[in-house]
Amino acid sequence: MESRYNYVVIEGNIGAGKTTLARHIAEDFNARLILEQFSDNPFLPKFYDDPVKYSFPLELSFLANRYKQLKDELEPQDLFKSFTVADYYFMKSLVFAASTLEGDEYNLYRQIFYIIYGSLPKPDIYVYLHLSPENLLKNIKKRGREYEAGITKEYLQSIQESYFAFFRQNPENKYLVIDVNNIDFVKDKVHYNKIVKTIFEGDYQAGLNTVML
């Protein structure tokens, strides 16, 4: 199967499986893979311990890191890869900031975000893996990252709402929301193939496109 896209983004809430899916697609399609570099962020563990104090420096550091990574990795051409697939996009910065920042801090952050946002290449399609907060918490528990232990269902719900708010506010982009609550594409190859077929064989328009698997 060939890709009709040059640049595909796999998005989703914490624990949705976006990195796993992006890795598999990159391997199967000989695609260039971009993975978010977040494990070295010194503010992340501090944020989970004290969100009020560390939310603004955390979001600013993510904004800077994501911009630099995408700018560095998207600009060079790779003639030996069929297309690019990433497990996040720059919009993730605004999505999470909407759930962690308030008032003047969020307004300032939003201004900075949109100034930078326009200078980055846009994906051909945004794929959003949709899971309920309950199922997300199960996945988070399975992978056992210590700094994620305090994540709540309410926080995951707020992140989910922020994603869909961004989709509605930026309808010029092409969004494919895939409900994966009833499948396990990590362990089941049939389920994985269904997702791949949904992404690369479907004909989608700008705006929100929803598929339940």
DSSP character at residue 121: P
- Residue 50 is a catalytic residue: no
Cα angle value 183/186/192 (rounded, 5°)? 65
Bridge partners (DSSP) of residue 173 are none
Cα within 13 Å of Cα(183), Cβ side:
19
Q: What percent of the residues of the chain are helix, what percent strand, and what percent coil, each to the nearest 5?
A: 55, 15, 35
Which of 87, 179, 188, 203 is labelled catalytic? 87
Q: Is 101 left (phi over 0), alpha (psi -120 to 50) or beta?
A: beta
The structure tokens listed for 189 are 């190859």
To which H or E segment does residue 189 belong?
helix 189-201
Catalytic positions are 87
